[in-house]
Amino acid sequence: MDNLLKPGILVLMLVLSGRLTAQSTQPDLHTQQIYLVTDSLHSDPITADKFYFNWLKVSPISLILGQLSLFYERALTKRTSLVIGYGIGGNRPNFGRQLELGGGIYERVTLEGRRYWNSNRPSRSWYMGPYLRLSRLTVSEFILDQQGKALKDSQGLSLTKQEQALIWIPGLMAGGQWIKKRFCLDISYGLQRQIVVGSPAKGNQFVDSMTAKWASRLGLNVGVSF
């Protein structure tokens, strides 16, 4: 009798051991499935670039012309930013340090708002936004008599005077910005309305362009990201 039970007990033990082995391996398979799903979620080929919150930029074209255009941009979110700028210059390449007769110099502050299109690619993205500029224009000119001739002092030197005007400049611009290893390149184009408060004397191309009702704005700036 015992000899007949031994084979049955042996078969029962083998069946139970097989079930226990299958149950013990099931969590491992489930864990592998979780790992596979997690890996697939992170295997997206589009990886977000490193995001910078600050940019300091300058216009190289302005420097070549003896003018200064400096900008600081601060990110508010991954899609919006605020830009403040300062500029100084004139019709002569002396960075606005000297006002020559018949010429003009300006000082300008800028406030911009930007909306970027691609938040996953801040290193290369297009943007659009409004801006507002305020310029102070100083013009030097001759003092003329009623016949339109220049008045002169006792030494025979022509008398001159300086006139100032404030220019409010609202506008809209669009452009693109590219970042490579903290180096940034910013190219933009805008259309602006120039509202002149004052009556500066005209007579040269510089003053005429500063006081025109409508003007375009072309920007090329380089700088660093941090």
pLDDT tens-digit series, residues 125-137: 999 999 999 999 9
Q: What is the pLDDT of residues 160-204, one digit of tens each?
A: 788 899 999 999 999 999 999 899 999 999 999 999 999 887 767
Average pLDDT value for residue range 196-221: 89
Q: What angle do CA 175, 179, 183 make, to 5 degrees?
A: 115
User: For residue 68, what are the CA distances in angstroms to 28, 39, 90, 115, 180?
Assistant: 66, 51, 10, 25, 24
User: Residue 119 has which token pair?
Assistant: 């938040």
Instruction: Return the SS3 of 180.
Output: strand
Query: With bands split at pLDDT 50, 70 and 90, how would you rate the model's confidence at 145?
Result: confident
Task: Using the predicted structure, report yes or no on whether residue 69 has a pLDDT greater than 80.
Answer: yes
CA 109 – CA 27 distance, rounded (Å): 66
Higher per-residue pLDDT: 225 or 102? 225
76-87 mean pLDDT: 95
Whether the predicted pLDDT of 40 surpasses 60: no
Name the percent of the chain lying above pLDDT 70. Answer: 75
Among the residue ranges 8-12, 99-103, 126-130, the one predicted with the least confidence is 8-12
- With CA atoms as reference, report the closest residue to 74 among 128, 111, 117, 47: 111
In whole numbers, what is the pLDDT of the chain averaged over residues? Answer: 81
Q: What is the pLDDT of residues 107-129, one digit of tens each?
A: 999 999 999 997 666 678 999 99
- Look at 23 and 179; give whichever has higher pLDDT: 179
Domains of the chain with CATH codes:
54-225 (2.40.160)
Question: What was the pLDDT predicted at 134?
Answer: 98
State how far the Cα of 219 lies from the Cα of 223, in Å rounded to an integer.
Answer: 13
Write out the two tokens for 138: 């100083």
Residue 167: CB partners within 8 Å, gap ≥ 6? 133, 134, 135, 136, 137, 194, 195, 196, 197, 210, 211
